[in-house]
């Protein structure tokens, strides 16, 4: 228990390497504020799970963590899949050419005086063979192109060095989230357990988490539909007493955790979750860049549709956490890439206060009085807003924060980084980290002042 018996949680969103780099800044700011060592739970999704797992394995030396992680992000993990796809293409082409030659040879035997017929047969034989191989390749692509296995191996090589869930620390507790197609529910991985309620017998998980590879858990969390093959759980990870018992429902088939919750905040805010926390910092690397201009083919249309649905879920979740009454809710501080680093955030705080969305212990920590809150909601709104903004600026040390606002060029670079697992330049990594570091300090000081009060 961290602050007066209450727990602190961090949610690290999805977004490929962009998210992984963005979350460096969030952890950096929390480390600087003295909050990071107090964190009880880190809940992560997709690219955020790369960061959370790497940090958990290297948390005892923060500077070394940052140095090693930034170096690792300069190495992509998609090249093996492209290499395999290229080899598969060469093999199919070679088989097609071979079939064409065979068809040409056979036709030459039966029609020795008609070379044109032999040529046509050779061409048709090659085309038909290529078509059949392509159909088989696509129909059984989970077997013929097991991309997730390749990425998992590279995750181990670049980030996790074959560590297992049992190697994770007890604190902070990690919750690596994926989505289970079999049950349409979130499936989590942690040091002591993995699964969901559907895979429990007498309140115990049927899976043994200790020896499960961290790389496979992170791959399940970042397994983007249409891009990677779903992750399955081998029967060797069943607890011994359940090895001969068929699981109900069907065995899990796991894809990107972002399909269910791309922010990772659900497990932290759900009342009945074992990972529930009271103070929640959400580092969100999404950039909401859904555009019809990208729907130029079936694949792009499918990916854009998924992005649209994920973005809608995110906005609904954020609205519920931030823009509804605070009564009975956790304390949230949001750190989204899509928000600009500016004084507007303080004005947004005043607006949230007027609408009754701020916990009283937050505005009281900023030395705001009940009388000022009443004036804010009354006829004297303008002068009350001005007075409150001045108090908040003083409380959060705005004069210091203002000097550290990232340049517009830095923010532009950060938002230009795409969602993928390809290597990032040092400039891209530092631009993303600079944005999130500043915004994290700003939002924590604004909405979670109790976390830094003891230190200051």
Q: Which residues are catalytic?
A: 46, 256
Determine how many CB atoms are found less than 10 A away from the CB of residue 347. Answer: 13
HEC letters along 247-316 = CCCCCCEEEECHHHHCCCCHHHHCCCCCCCCCEEEEEECCCCCCCHHHCCCHHHHHHHHHHHHHHHHHHH
* DSSP letter, residue 229: P
For residues 444 and 451, give the distance between their C-alpha atoms in angstroms, rounded to a whole number.
8
For residues 392 and 366, give the distance between their C-alpha atoms in angstroms, rounded to a whole number.
6
C-alpha atoms less than 13 angstroms from C-alpha of 192 in its C-beta half-sphere: 8
Determine how many CB atoms are found less than 10 A away from the CB of residue 296. Answer: 10
| Angle made by CA atoms 80, 49, 64, in degrees to the nearest 5 | 90
Comparing CA positions, the residue from 294, 280, 256, 241 lying closest to residue 444 is: 280
Sign for the CA dihedral angle at 359, 363, 365, 371 comes to negative
For residues 375 and 353, give the distance between their C-alpha atoms in angstroms, rounded to a whole number.
11
Task: Give SS3 for 177.
Answer: strand
Contact (Cβ atoms closer than 8 angstroms) between residue 62 and residue 31: yes
For residues 214 and 195, give the distance between their C-alpha atoms in angstroms, rounded to a whole number.
14
For residues 429 and 212, give the distance between their C-alpha atoms in angstroms, rounded to a whole number.
30
Per-state percent for the chain, helix, strand, coil, to nearest 5:
55, 10, 30
Comparing CA positions, the residue from 334, 207, 183, 362 lying closest to residue 264 is: 334
Burial class from Cβ neighbours inside 10 Å (0-12, 13-18, 19+) for residue 109 reads: exposed
Burial 393-414 (b: 16+ CB within 10 A, else e): bebbebeebeeebbeeebbebb
Comparing CA positions, the residue from 138, 289, 148, 137 lying closest to residue 227 is: 148
Contact (Cβ atoms closer than 8 angstroms) between residue 255 and residue 179: yes
């Amino acid at each position: 228990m961290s602050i007066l018996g209450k727990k602190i949680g961090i949610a690290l969103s999805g977004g490929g390497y962009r998210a992984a780099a963005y979350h460096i800044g969030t952890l950096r700011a929390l480390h600087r504020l003295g909050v990071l060592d107090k964190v009880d739970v880190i809940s992560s999704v997709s690219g955020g799970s790369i960061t959370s797992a790497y940090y958990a394995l290297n948390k005892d030396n923060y500077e070394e963590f940052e140095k090693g992680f930034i170096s690792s992000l300069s190495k992509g993990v998609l090249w093996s899949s492209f290499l395999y796809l290229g080899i598969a293409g060469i093999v199919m082409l070679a088989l097609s050419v071979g079939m064409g030659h065979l068809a040409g040879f056979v036709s030459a035997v039966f029609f020795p005086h008609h070379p044109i017929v032999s040529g046509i047969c050779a061409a048709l034989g090659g085309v038909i063979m290529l078509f059949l191989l392509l159909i088989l390749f696509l129909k059984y692509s989970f077997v013929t192109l097991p991309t997730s296995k390749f990425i998992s191996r590279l995750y181990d090589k670049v980030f996790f060095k074959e560590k297992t869930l049992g190697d994770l620390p007890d604190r902070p507790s990690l919750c690596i989230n994926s989505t289970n197609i079999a049950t349409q529910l979130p499936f989590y991985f942690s040091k002591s357990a993995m699964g969901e309620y559907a895979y429990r017998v007498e309140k115990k998980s049927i899976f043994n988490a200790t020896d499960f590879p961290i790389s496979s858990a992170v791959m399940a969390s970042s397994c983007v539909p249409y891009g990677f093959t779903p992750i399955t759980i081998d029967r060797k990870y069943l607890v011994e007493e359940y090895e001969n018992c068929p699981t109900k429902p069907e065995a899990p088939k796991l894809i990107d955790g972002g399909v269910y919750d791309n922010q990772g905040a659900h497990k932290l805010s759900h009342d009945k979750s074992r990972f529930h926390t009271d103070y929640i910092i959400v580092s969100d690397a999404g950039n909401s860049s859904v555009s019809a201009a990208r729907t130029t083919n079936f694949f792009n249309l499918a990916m854009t549709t998924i992005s649209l649905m994920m973005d809608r879920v995110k906005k609904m979740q954020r609205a519920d956490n931030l823009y509804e009454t605070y009564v009975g809710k956790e304390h949230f501080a949001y750190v989204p890439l899509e928000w600009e680093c500016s004084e507007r955030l303080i004005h947004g705080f005043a607006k949230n206060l007027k609408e009754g969305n701020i916990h009283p212990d937050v505005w009281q920590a900023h030395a705001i009085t009940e009388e000022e809150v009443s004036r804010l909601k009354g006829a004297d709104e303008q002068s009350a807003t001005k007075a409150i903004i001045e108090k908040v600026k003083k409380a959060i040390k705005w004069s210091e924060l203002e000097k550290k606002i990232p340049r517009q060029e830095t923010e532009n670079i950060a938002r230009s980084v795409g969602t993928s697992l390809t290597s990032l330049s040092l400039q891209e990594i530092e631009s993303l980290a600079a944005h999130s570091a500043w915004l994290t300090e700003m939002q924590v000081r604004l909405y979670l002042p109790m976390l830094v009060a003891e230190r200051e």
